[in-house]
Chains A and B, each alone.
Chain A
């Protein structure tokens, strides 16, 4: 399939157009000059012949005898055999000699108009014939000699030339275009290489660079510019991560103090109950703030590429089922029906607790935004080589203009309502970060008023399912820790 907007197509297209114009102009010029040359050449020959007839016969005393003249001219020049036409006129009206039709039938001698009143030397260009006329004043009288030839041979040559150009031009344009296509491809190949290298750079390997070509041209400029951009990106990503991590740490200390002090007060039975109430309310806010800090910190860790600290193959459907069981009471409490169905085993490779977090957050959201009497379904199924988990509800849905934003941090569809429900606005961002880290595809389909479906698709694992959870600190590979230290991250304490 040819992409009409590609550089290759455009270059070759313009190249072809230019070549066509050049060939057209060249062809026209060739045609005109060839025609001119052939005609001039013919005229010269005819004129010479007329001169010869005049000088050889018309000054002879016997010139006035048509039989003698005819004999002499036929014997000497035999115009029929040469495809020529000869006519000698005396005193403008008396035709002394007219050659018969040439053998090749190139012209019809009787059809050539008689020259009347021609006194000057010159040419007449009839449609099919070229005529040279020569007035001769001799002692025998005033003669007018006309020598003609068919234009057909010239037309024949010109036709041949046109045909040659018509075949040669498109053929050479085509060859040039094909060659041009490959030349442009060759010239663009390093660009494609740069693009594929640039494609491999993600948030996790921003310290890598694209090999710079030392060609001193635009390509070198491109690689240098790209590398500088990656460097700046690395800087700003690193800065942001450090900022979130530092901010999270700085926030935790005062939170610890506030929580500690308030808890002590809240359990003091001597305080009046309204004071204990407001302390409790403050503590609830502290808890919410803590949740936000936790969420932000979790996200910043995920951004730092820490999402897959453990990688095991497990049954995704089973995980969904146990999670659904654990959360069933939450649904029951709102008078919702929470079901889980699907193919088992459906092995996937990843961090089990993080993927469980995905299910928990999605189901929690579905329960929050589905009114009493509704239904929340978890469906798992295998699609080709992928595992697909869907959380479907028939709740309030999401307005279509909000769908692209639901995974953004702190995004709320209905600010008042979701805050009342106690969400920090980070649950779905965390879901997205975990999915990204697992190379999972995440999609939301929602109709306002009818419900929402969230789809998580990740590749199936073909390894054996490992049973049970890994215990932190025992089976964990120490490698990520080393990596963390090398990455020169600030220590948190």
Chain B
């Protein structure tokens, strides 16, 4: 899988590239809009990650030219604006997804994988982490064979964490996935739900599966 990042902020481009390379993607980085546009049009990429404000040629223009040339490559836009109109404009220009700065790398990765259809969504019906089991069809959760009763929000939270065991999800990502955008800025609700989830899943069992990565978020993994 070959990816192109067009981002004039070298440090931002660098840490995205570094992170994506460690996920075994082939990553090209370009800081200038015009060169970036040339590359995007002439090389077969599987995904484009475009910043909006670029020297030479803006992200939206690159996107428009790519679409004018009938290239179906998925495009992820990085934007510093979370305004609804801005989002609408990006989608209208043919973007497949957008990400507002600042973002957690985990979130970028989830979106990149989703766009490449490598299935961030685990298609399995039964998710397993150690002795914890979640059945998507019956919505039953069992640990060590014992059935655990969860509320619907607790269930969606657990399901979200279990789709990618060991992946750390930020509070913002969890809020966006489990709640809706009006809870932006109210990420403490995640802490409360995780605490409740822990009480049911981890308190009377060993080892503890839900982990807090301070400053980053939560993940579920077998020790």
Contacts and interface: CB of A to CB of B under 8 A. Distances in A.
Interface of A: 245, 248-249, 252-253, 255-264, 266-267, 276-277, 279-284, 286-287, 290-291, 294-295, 297-298, 301, 306, 309-310, 323, 326-327, 329-330, 333, 353-354, 356-357, 360, 364, 422, 424, 427, 469, 472-473, 476, 478, 480-481, 484, 491-493
Given A360-B182, A492-B79, 15 more contacts: A249-B80, A256-B12, A257-B9, A264-B19, A279-B215, A295-B185, A306-B83, A306-B84, A329-B196, A330-B192, A427-B185, A469-B180, A481-B92, A491-B52, A492-B80
Interface residues of B, number: 55
Interface of B: 9, 11-12, 15-16, 18-19, 51-54, 58-60, 79-89, 91-92, 101-106, 153, 168, 171, 179-189, 192-193, 195-196, 213-216
Nearest to B15: A260
A100 B183 CA distance: 117
Contacts, number: 161
Given A284-B214, A330-B192, A260 B16 contact: yes
Nearest to A279: B215
Nearest to B87: A472
Given A281-B214, A424-B185, A493-B80, A481 B88 contact: yes
B106 to A, nearest CB: 8
- List of 7 A-B pairs having minimum Cβ-Cβ separation, nearest first: A493-B52, A283-B215, A280-B214, A493-B53, A280-B215, A492-B81, A260-B15
A481 B85 contact: yes
A472 B87 CA distance: 8
Contact of A353 (B79, B91, B171, B182): B182
B80 to A, nearest CB: 4
Contact of A253 (B12, B89, B184): B12
Nearest to A430: B185
A259 to B, nearest CB: 5
Given A263-B105, A279-B215, A478-B88, A493 B54 contact: yes
B12 A260 contact: yes
Contacts of B188: 330, 422
Contacts of B18: 264
Contact of A264 (B105, B183, B189): B105
Interface-central residue, A260, A276, A309, A353, by most chain B CB under 10 Å: A260
Contact of A473 (B91, B101, B181, B185): B91
Q: Which of A258, A295, A473, A493 has the most CB of B within 10 A?
A: A493
Given A264-B19, A491-B58, A484 B85 contact: yes
Contacts of A298: 82
A281 B215 contact: yes
Given A263-B105, A473-B91, A329 B79 contact: no
A280 B192 contact: no
B214 A267 contact: no
Given A330-B188, A491-B52, A357 B12 contact: no
A476 B15 contact: no
A323 B186 CA distance: 13
A252 B53 CA distance: 13
B220 to A, nearest CB: 15
A246 B104 CA distance: 22
B101 A256 contact: yes
B195 A267 contact: no
Contact of B88 (A262, A354, A472): A472
14 contacts: A260-B12, A263-B105, A264-B18, A280-B214, A301-B83, A329-B153, A329-B189, A353-B180, A353-B182, A422-B188, A484-B85, A491-B53, A492-B52, A493-B58
B216 A263 contact: yes
Nearest to A289: B102
A297 B214 CA distance: 26
Contacts of B185: 291, 294-295, 424, 427
Given A248-B80, A266-B214, A283-B214, A473 B92 contact: yes
B192 A329 contact: yes
A481 B216 contact: no
Contacts of A261: 11, 15
B92 A294 contact: no
A277 B214 CA distance: 7
Nearest to B196: A329
A360 B183 contact: yes
Nearest to A262: B215
B101 A252 contact: yes
Contacts of B54: 493
Contacts of A267: 168, 213, 216
A314 to B, nearest CB: 13
